[in-house]
Chains A and B, each alone.
Chain A
């Protein structure tokens, strides 16, 4: 009898895939907004902040000018805040120039139900009035529950609801990878 196999999730994007996707997103942001001037990047904690920083680096390398980059915690704007135990807050850091009249590009790792982005739109409304809000995500796994779509997508990843998509970034997890697993943790 062989021992039960340890569930291993399947890697969907490896480090170089993630790097290429972010480089493309950086170029798409510049193309759509005709340069870096109006752009403010706001990452949604935790991993959106790391992704925003990487996109910011790439924009700086292409344009020779850095874009204001910050983080936006949406914990208190979530619609399930009263349904779960109180959560610790993440850091919100709005760049010194503010967001009024700017094009805010929200950056998150996985787009799923869309509820995090709805919360982020409410949070932005309390901070200022941007000219436009755009959304960049590394993975769009579908199953939207709200009329929200991403403007920049690293990879469209069709999934079933029971599957789990995990994004690992070097800053937080020691490695760059996007993993997919069924509910037991095994590859699908």
Chain B
């Protein structure tokens, strides 16, 4: 594993290695000194071309807890706003000696380009690219579910909402399928991609019919900023058909949990009562996010990459 660009690239063994490593990283939160020396002397650049609060600070906390030096870069107020290309930004990072680059970009494929173009030698972690993927979010969701449900093999996971624009949905479907879960995607027809035949999941337009058999329900944010046109008649109608409220929550089985990648539109896709209920693991997802990102950074950056380069030579 040289980069983390797509949740679909992970084998079951690699995914489980990351989740097991995260389990060890999570115990750090209970220690008096929340710091490990694993990445001492390594430099991690957070390269964020798109706004983000939780993902950026989560990666920053993860890198700092592993003793890496962190450089934060956001497109606003940088040379990118003067028209610098991705290539020149990458060359600058390479010249500064970045060992790892955590990249969020509004265009799908930007992290892949950084990793494969040869502009820089550091490891690239995709922190969300356009409407493509967000692999660390999928990993932290799987980690959170695994902590509550045990093995995900054969578990039924329902993902509800704006799948068309959601990189979280795509990464989750790919990873959960790798881990053996049965995934059902629920959305209005206008918010599903045209061809779902290659997605390893089933689809449904009827939220109520899948509630009772779900072990976990993941609500996606309605991404108004990515919607140029109307995908559903009104917010109220969306909420009535696809929102998770207390009545729908009552149909879930006793152990079922509710996830949301955040930020939430309370009252839109999820009601405030559900978000604050005991089934909701949304705050825990944030805690687990730091552990997952520590695991990913540790596995990508801690060792020498000489052996992998020798294999390529």
Chain A interface (Cβ within 8 Å of chain B)? 73, 76-77, 81-92, 94, 122, 126-128
Would you call A76 and B37 a contact (CB within 8 A)? yes
Cα A91 to Cα B17 with chains together (Å): 13
The 3 A-B pairs of least Cβ separation, nearest first, read A86-B303, A76-B38, A85-B303
CB of B280 closer than 8 Å to a CB of A: no
The segment out of B25-33, B87-95, B247-255, B282-290 that lies at the interface is B25-33
Partner among A81, A84, A86, A87 whose Cβ is within 8 Å of the Cβ of B300: A86
- Extra pairs beyond A76-B66, A89-B25, A122-B37 (19, CB < 8 Å): A76-B36, A77-B37, A81-B38, A81-B303, A82-B41, A83-B304, A86-B298, A86-B300, A86-B302, A87-B302, A88-B17, A89-B21, A89-B298, A92-B27, A126-B33, A127-B31, A127-B32, A127-B33, A128-B32
B302 engages A82 (CB within 8 Å) = yes
Cα distance A88–B20 in the bound complex, in angstroms: 9
Q: A73-B24, A89-B21, A126-B33 are in contact. Are A82 and B298 (CB under 8 A)?
A: no
Listed by A's residue number, 10 A-B pairs whose Cβ atoms lie within 8 Å are A76-B302, A81-B303, A82-B41, A82-B302, A85-B303, A85-B304, A87-B302, A89-B20, A92-B24, A126-B33
Task: Give residues 254-308 of B contacting A (CB, 8 Å).
Answer: 298-305, 307-308
Q: Which residues of A contact B307 (CB under 8 A)?
A: 85
Assess whether B304 is in contact with A84, with CB atoms less than 8 Å apart: yes
Within 8 A of A (CB), among B171-187: none
Residues from chain A with a CB closer than 8 A to the CB of B24 are 73, 89-92
Number of A-B contacts (CB under 8 A): 53
Task: Give the docked Cα–Cα distance between A90 and B23 (Å).
Answer: 10
Is the CB–CB distance between B21 and A88 below 8 Å? yes
- The CA-CA distance from A151 to B66 in the complex, in Å, is 32
- CB-CB < 8 A to B308: which residues of A? 85
Residue of B nearest to A125 (CB): B33
Chain B residues lying within 8 Å of A77, measured Cβ to Cβ, are 37
Q: What is the bound-complex CA distance between A92 and B25, given in angstroms?
A: 10
Residues in chain B near residue A84, CB distance under 8 A = 303-304
B241 CB–A CB distance under 8 Å? no
A83-B304 Cα distance, complex, nearest whole Å:
5
How far is A84 from B41 in the complex, measured between Cα atoms in Å? 16
Residues of A within 8 A of B303 (CB): 81-82, 84-87
Residues of A close to B304: CB separation below 8 A:
82-85
**Bound form: Cα–Cα A85–B35 in Å:** 21
| Bound Cα distance from A91 to B27, whole angstroms | 10
Report B-chain residues with C-beta under 8 Å of the C-beta of A81. 38, 302-303
Name the one of A88, A91, A122, A126 contacting B31, with C-beta atoms under 8 angstroms.
Answer: A126
**Bound complex: CA of A85 vs CA of B299, how far in Å?**
9
A81 to B36 alpha-carbon distance, docked (Å): 12
CA distance A85 to B303 in the complex (A): 4
B32: chain A residues at CB < 8 Å are 127-128
